[in-house]
Amino acid sequence: DLLREPEKLAQLIESAPGGVINAAAMTDVDGCEKRPQEAWALNVRAVEIAALACSKKGTRLTTLSTDYVFDGVKGSYAEDDPPNPRGVYARTKRAGEEAALILASDVAVCRVAVVYSGHPAAKKTFAATALESLRSGKPVKAFTDQVVSPTLADNAAEMVIGVHRSRAQGVFHCAGATEISRIDFCRALAGKLRADESLIVPVLLADLKLPAPRPLKCGLRVDKVRRLLGASLPLPLDAALDRFLAESRT
């Protein structure tokens, strides 16, 4: 339990035979606004502990981060674009990135975005909810004004593990290869299902009064990870949706 016994993380790393991939985080964006101390403990303090322990042991650390470190004004972000996080979640994730990059001696930061999976036991996501609704003939609300880089979970894992094993250091965008609005994502999914596109209801993120701010144009460029791991690894949306649907049928 990273909240109650964070020191046990260092003990675990000291006994670990190889490298460490840190995927633990508080990812409830609105929950972070309501519980900022918990967000700091999980998204920053835990990374600090892991980075120091890895540095002491000479162990490689790869830690996951998010597209939300950007403000969503420019869009199509590369790894060297300056972050400008908005909201508690975004600021704590950026602080976690900085902690890892400063404190660990052998480190990679892998930013992922809008992760989804078709596996039945996986966390319910926007994509999974849209799939369920379209298959059932129910309406799906989708943002027209938010552009993202949807990332199939298994593909994200392939890229993160690839970066970790490569020993390359620095920041990498381990996201899907297609930047797309959420409504066009749903339309592409409907096309795969041969579902009625009129079920997709356009809404504006900018009109919603949510506790935490969301970046509107937060697509991630994947040129760097493609050069490192090969052109086929960041999946384009068409291929990712095929795998997503295959997963959902298992």
- Domains of the chain, start order: 7-248 (3.40.50.720)
In order of 71, 188, 190, 220, the CA distances from 238 in angstroms are: 27, 8, 12, 17
Measuring CA to CA, which residue among 124, 173, 120 is closest to residue 149? 173
Q: Are 68 and 218 in contact (CB under 8 A)?
A: yes
Q: Please give the Cα distance from 40 to 109 (Å, whole number).
A: 18
Q: Please give the Cα distance from 134 to 10 (Å, whole number).
A: 45
Q: Please give the Cα distance from 144 to 123 (Å, whole number).
A: 24
Instruction: Check the CA dihedral 67-237-78-141 and report its sign.
Output: negative
In order of 148, 185, 187, 222, 225, the CA distances from 231 in angstroms are: 20, 22, 25, 10, 9
Q: Please give the Cα distance from 210 to 224 (Å, whole number).
A: 33
Q: Label residue 13 by pLDDT band (50, 70, 90).
A: confident
Q: Label residue 3 by pLDDT band (50, 70, 90).
A: low
Residue 37: per-residue pLDDT: 96
Whether 68 is a known active-site residue: answer no
Q: Which one is catalytic: 68, 77, 89, 116?
A: 89
Tell the residue number behind the tokens 């298959």, with chain if given: 135
- The 10s digit of each residue's pLDDT in 137-159 is 999 999 999 999 999 999 999 99
- Bridge partners of 65? 111
- The 10s digit of each residue's pLDDT in 63-95 is 999 999 999 999 999 999 999 999 999 999 999
- Whether the predicted pLDDT of 10 surpasses 80: no
Dihedral through CA 138, CA 190, CA 75, CA 220, nearest 10? 110
> Which secondary-structure segment (H or E) carries 203?
strand 200-203
Q: Are 67 and 127 in contact (CB under 8 A)?
A: no
Pull the structure tokens for residue 92.
């704590």
What pTM was estimated for this model as a whole? Answer: 0.94
- Bridge partners of 108? 62, 170
For the CA atoms of the chain, what is the radius of gyration? 18
- The 10s digit of each residue's pLDDT in 175-231 is 999 999 999 999 999 999 999 999 999 999 989 989 999 999 999 999 999 999 999
Pull the structure tokens for residue 77.
């972000």
Q: How many residues does the chain have?
A: 250
Helix, strand, coil percentages for the chain (3-state, nearest 5): 45, 15, 40
Residue 84: per-residue pLDDT: 98
